[in-house]
Each structure stands twice: as structure tokens, then as C-alpha cells.
Amino acid sequence: MNKIYLDNAATTAIRPEVIEAITDSMKTVFGNPSSIHQFGRSAKSVVETARKNIANHLNVSSSEIYFTAGGSEANNLILWNAVVHLGVKRIITSKIEHHAVLHKILALKSQYYFELEFVQLDQFGQIDLIHLNELLEDTSLKTLVSLMYVNNEIGNILDINKVSVLCKQYNALFHSDTVQGIGHFNIDLQKTPIDFITASAHKFHGPKGVGFLYVKKGISVKPMLIGGEQEKGLRAGTENIHSILGMEKALTISLTNLPKEKVYIQHLKTYFINKLKEIPGLQFNGISTDATYSSYHILNVRFPIETDLLLFNLDLKGIAVSGGSACQSGAQKGSHVLGELLHEKERNKASIRFSFSYQNTIEEIDYTILILKSIITT
């Protein structure tokens, strides 16, 4: 049976070079970076080199990068700091954010007082920047805007340049969940002055359980995890050295190969879209078919059938995809993103997120189309 992985927005396979880097570090670097002896100093040195290299990719200082256990922790850390320590009295977000953001904001709202505003969306899930401007100019309260760069379910790309300009104009803090963007797009934080961004290594062919947080210089944040002075006092716990080195390697390779791999993956997506259009009644969620405003690696498709078994049937044929955010799989809940965008009749139809990597092939796309047509027409 064919085994075809088209769920790269959920997680990616680790690159062979990254596995090698992790394995080599396990053999040679085992000291605690907090220890003052030569083994500790050696470990500290490689961690700080990795921090510097990651910072260089974003055009920031290494002192602005903090290592975490992933994007969810990084998002939680910033949102908690905003309300508890940074004096934020108003948060503006959207109803289609990742639950690591949306659920954290709602949890904070149940514990602390602040105003919560949701920016309007158009029918395709695009942020209404005019409404965002109106919300920002409507108050003098200290405000945090939290909007994701690339939506993990429908692939819509936020114009972070325009949002950062608006936030600067109204003296608001800007936090962006960039988990689906880091490693897939070049981000220069000198040109696009975002205050906080987050990343998770397993989204760009690195190891799971490690990520990083960027905090703009001059903003003081406090730890949620107490018990040590690691990560410049922001996160207690011995650093995950081997995964950090793997993350740095994965990010470097992803950005080095980006010009070539982006063209290749976009070609796969475009080819897939054209083949899918041969299925009568099929529609695309969000702006999935737009090559400019939708990420080249995510496609969300709505099929002309009402069934909960499409994912299962594809899996039986060896095709791995997602019906929404992977964090929701197994929870027996529909996508909150599609729930915001689609009318009830359309929500009942089977929607699938396909997401691609450099490892996918045209032959895999052809096989997937063949299986989809056989399922839809029977």
C-alpha cells in the first residue's frame, strides 16, 4: 500500500541532516549549560551559537531569542505576560486563531479584567484591516494585538507589515503566532517591527518539543516556570541542547533551500488544485487557491459530500491528511475556523486540509486524486 504524507502543517519529517546534527551532539555535548566546568561551558557555547544563528535569520539580537518547548508555550508565555505584567488592558484578536492563543486569551479573561475585541473577517477569513484600525483608534487603553501570520487550517497569510504599521501608529503591542510561517517565509524583524513572535521546530523539519520566542528589546517579561535562571531568567529548566541544535540546523537548511523548495511545493499545490477542479461541486476554503495571499504549503478543500468518514477512508488507502487543526484530531469537534467562515449547510460537508513539503511528489498527488475521485463518486 502507498504511504503518502500530506499533513505537513501538523508536523514535518525531520531532515536527515538534522537527525545527524542531533545525533552528533548527543555523542559529544552532554554537559549542563549552567555548569561552570569545561563540559558545561562547551554546552553553553553551542546553545548560544545556535541562538545567535537563529537571531541572524530574523535580523535581531541573540538576546531577544528565548528557547521554549514549542509554539504553544511561547504563545502562552507572552499572552500571560501581557495581561499580568505588561499592563495590557485590551486585547484585539480574531476568532480563527490557533487554540494556543484563543483558548489562552479566554482563560485569562476568566481570571483578569481586560477588554477583549474580535476583529472582523471577510467570508474568506481575511482580517478586515479597516476594522482593526477602527478598534485601535477607539481607545486609549494599553492594547495588545494578537493575530497569526499564517492560518494553520486555511493557509491565509496576514499582511504583518500593515498590521505592524497600525500597531506602531496607535502605540499597541503586536504579537503574532508565526508557527506556520517560520522556516517557510523570510521574516526581517527590522523591516517588520513585531514585538513578539513564536516558532516551533517540528513545523520546518526539526525535532518536536522545542521552539523559540522572540521578545523585542526593551520589553521586560517574566517567567511562568519558576526554579532556575535559565534562558536569561525567563524559563526555568535545563536547556534541551540537542533539540535546540536540531532546530537551528533545520531552520538554516529550510531558509537556505527556501527559494528552490518554495517553487517546487507551489508547483505541487497548483497541480493539485487544477486536478481537484475536475471534481464537480468541490470548493476551496479560505483563499487556498491564491498564490499570493495563501501559503504555498497549505490547501483546504470542501468536498460535495456530507460524511465523517473521508479522513478514515483516505487513511485506509495510505493517505495522511487532516480535517482541521491537528491539535483537534481525536477531539470529535469540527474546525472552529471553518465554523466561523461557513454557513451551516457548508459546514456539514467534508473539508480536508492538505499540506505539502519538499518530500512530496507529483506521483503522490496523482494517486491522491485517483483515490479521492473513487471515494467521491461511489
pLDDT tens-digit series, residues 19-30: 999 999 999 999
- Domain residue limits, the chain: 4-12+258-376, 16-252
Q: Among this protein's residues, is 327 annotated catalytic?
A: yes
User: Would you list the DSSP string of 43-71?
Assistant: HHHHHHHHHHHHHHHHTS-GGGEEEES-H
Mean pLDDT of 43-51: 97
Q: Does the pLDDT of residue 197 top 80, yes or no?
A: yes
pLDDT (0 to 100) of residue 345: 86
Separation CA 5–CA 108 (nearest Å) = 37
Q: Is the pLDDT of residue 370 over 70?
A: yes
Mean pLDDT for the stretch of residues 128-140: 95
Which residue spans within 217-357 are E strands per DSSP? 283-284, 298-302, 319-320, 351-355
Total H helices, total E strands in the chain: 11, 12
16-252 topology per CATH: Aspartate Aminotransferase; domain 2 (3.40.640)
Q: How far is Cα 156 from Cα 293, in angstroms, rounded to an integer?
A: 6
Mean pLDDT across 170-193: 97
Q: Work out the average pLDDT over 276-302.
A: 95
What pLDDT score was predicted for residue 330?
47
Q: Using DSSP, state whether 284 is helix, strand or coil.
A: strand
Q: Which CATH superfamily hosts domain 4-12+258-376? A: Aspartate Aminotransferase, domain 1 (3.90.1150.10)
pTM of the model: 0.95
Nearest C-alpha neighbor of 145 from the set 125, 127, 157, 123: 127
Residue written as grid cell 521554549:
68
Joined together, the cell numbers standing for residue 117 give: 475585541
Mean pLDDT score across all residues of the chain: 95
pLDDT at res. 281: 93
pLDDT per position as a tens digit, 308-339? 789 999 999 999 999 854 554 444 567 999 99
Residue 138's pLDDT band (cuts 50, 70, 90): confident
Per mean pLDDT, which range of 25-39, 180-194, 333-347, 358-372 is the poorest? Answer: 333-347
Distance from C-alpha of 283 to C-alpha of 347, rounded to nearest angstrom: 12
The mean pLDDT value for 10-33 works out to: 97
The one catalytic residue among 327, 339, 359, 376? 327
Quick check: 310 and 352 in contact, CB under 8 A? yes
Percent residues over pLDDT 90 in the chain: 90
- Among positive and negative, which fits the CA dihedral 356, 360, 366, 372? negative
* Range of weakest confidence among 8-22, 149-163, 310-324: 310-324
The pLDDT value given to residue 329: 47
At 324 the pLDDT is: 59
